[in-house]
Amino acid sequence: MNALAGFVRLIDRVNDVLGRGIAWLTLAMVLITFVVVVLRYVFSVGFVWMQESYVWLHGVVFMAGAGYTLLNEGHVRVDIFYREKGPRYKAWVDLFGVLALLIPVVVLIWMVAWPYVLTSWERLEESREAGGLPGLFLLKSVILVFCLAIGLQGLSLAARSLLVLAGRTEFVRRDESAIGDSEA
C-alpha cells in the first residue's frame, strides 16, 4: 500500500506542476489576442502566425491541462448519485469510472493519435496557412501529452480510491471528509 500511496503522491505532484505551468500560457494567450485585436482594428495589420499562436496555445492549455483539471475535480460530473455520498461510495464510483470509462477512452485516443502524430513528425508538418506557424507536428504531439496526463491522473485516482477503500483516510479528498460514510 505504501508503493500505491507513493504513486498517487508522485502523479498528483507531476500533474499539479504541469497544470500550474500550463496555466501561465493562458496569460500569454490573452496578451497575444489583445495584440492581434489592436493590430487589426487600430492599425489594419494582421499576421497569420500570431493568430494561429493563440489558437494553438488554447489547444495546449486544454489538452495538457486536462490531468490537472481531473486532479482538482474540475471536470463536469453528473453527481445525482455522488455528491451527498460518503468517501467509500465515492471511491467505488471513481474506481469504476476510471477502469471502465476513462482508461479505455484514453487508450483508444492514444491508439488513434499515435499514427496521426507519427505521420506529422515524419513530414515535419507545418501550418497549411500562408504565413502560418511551423511545427504543427509539435501541436499534434500535445494529444499524446493529453493521454499521458489524464491517463496517469486517472490511474492515480483509481489508486487513491483503493487506498480509501483500504481505510487510508489521509487519501480522502478534503471536501469529502466532512460527509459521513454510512452509505457504503
For 136-146, the pLDDT digits (tens) are: 999 999 999 99
The number of residues in the chain equals: 184
The answer as to whether 176 is a domain residue is: no
Burial label, 8 (beta-carbon count in 10 A; 0-12, 13-18, 19+):
buried
The answer as to whether 23 is a domain residue is: yes
Give me the number of domains the chain comprises. 1
User: pLDDT tens digits for 91-100?
Assistant: 998 999 999 9
| Model pLDDT, residue 53 | 95
The answer as to whether 179 is a domain residue is: no
**Full residue range of the structural domain in which residue 87 is found:** 2-171
User: Model-level pTM greater than 0.95?
Assistant: no
Distance of CA 78 to the CA centre of its chain: 19
Q: Give residue 163's identity as a one-letter amino acid code.
A: L
The answer as to whether 181 is a domain residue is: no
Place of cell 455522488: 82
Q: Which of 2-6, 21-25, 102-106, 155-159 has the lowest mean pLDDT?
A: 2-6
The answer as to whether 183 is a domain residue is: no
The answer as to whether 177 is a domain residue is: no
- The more confidently predicted of residues 73 and 28 is 28
